[in-house]
Amino acid sequence: MTASAEARIGGATRLAGVIGWPVEHSLSPAIHNAAFADAGLDWAYVALPVPPGRVREAVVGLAALGFAGANVTMPHKTEVADLVDRRSEDAELLRAVNTIRVAGDVVEGHNTDVGGFDRFLRRDAGFEPAGRSALVYGAGGAARACALALARAGIARLAVVVREPGRADGVRGVATSLGVPVEVLSPDGAAGRRFDLVVNATPVGGPHEPEHRSIPELGSEVTVVDLRYDPPITPLQHHAREAGATTFGGVGLLVEQAALSFELWTAAPAPLEVMSAAALAALAER
């Protein structure tokens, strides 16, 4: 599809978007519009800034406005889970929705973070979780999704770093429901420990930020994933690289979960390479 065709929006154009607050920083419009163009679909994807207190109106309005669906980002994932008509298994387990699909009058809530993280680990990072150990920083929606993906993939040992022990209940719940025990560590508790996989699922960049006052032993046999994608190399990644670990940022997960959303809406295979290139190009322009 040519650039001019990509930009042409008419009465038959199908719409999708991303709900969040703030949302102007999102890479999702660049990723999805590139995918729609590559697939030859008459679709368009827009940012939908929705302030706290207006989420219910936004979710109800999607069907009324003819949207095929939407992604959901911070801080609305948990609230949207309570507003949709039907939740997928993962959305139900996590009580968090990051993808909405409008099917007639029914608004479905899905969570593609779980499948996206699993695909990212196996395809991009080449990491097989079965029988391995993992440490996750954080206990929010992203951390819960990672824990669920790892537990399903057969992780043998899982630890989570949180500032307050009670905040780990959600991570513990999803992992233990699949028979994986969770060790809860304080921000000082990871020092000197060894894990095969280290995941930062918090907004901070570590290792000297509050969530990362101590980090585990790092070396060539350790894979480190920082789910942040801006900056492209976070302090945690930099530290891990210096120690010889294999490191990855958050673009891979962003693209994989976006691909699953694309496939939910369109029933077409997602053009992963195009989506990844669009994400990297948008980041480079910042």
> Residue 55 catalytic?
no
CA torsion through residues 184, 187, 192, 194, sign: positive
Q: Report the distance separating Cα 248 and Cα 227, nearest Å.
A: 8
Q: 72 with 99: CB under 8 angstroms?
A: yes
- 89-115-52 Cα angle (round to 5): 70
Q: Which of 99, 59, 85 is nearest to 260 (CA)?
A: 99
For 118-253, list the strands marked E by DSSP. Answer: 133-137, 157-161, 182-185, 197-200, 223-226, 246-248
- Measured N-to-C along each axis, helices 251-266 and 272-284 cross at an angle, to the nearest 10 degrees, of 130
Q: Report the distance separating Cα 190 and Cα 10, nearest Å.
A: 55
Burial of residue 53 (number of CB atoms within 10 Å: 0-12, 13-18, 19+):
exposed
Q: Which of 63, 61, 30 is nearest to 45 (CA)?
A: 30
3-state secondary structure of 39: helix
What are the tokens at 52?
């706290």
User: Given 31, 35, 59, 77, which residue is catalytic?
Assistant: 77
3-state secondary structure of 105: coil
User: In which order are the strands placed within the sheet that holds 86-87?
Assistant: 43-49, 14-20, 67-72, 99-103, 106-110, 86-87
Active-site amino acid positions: 77
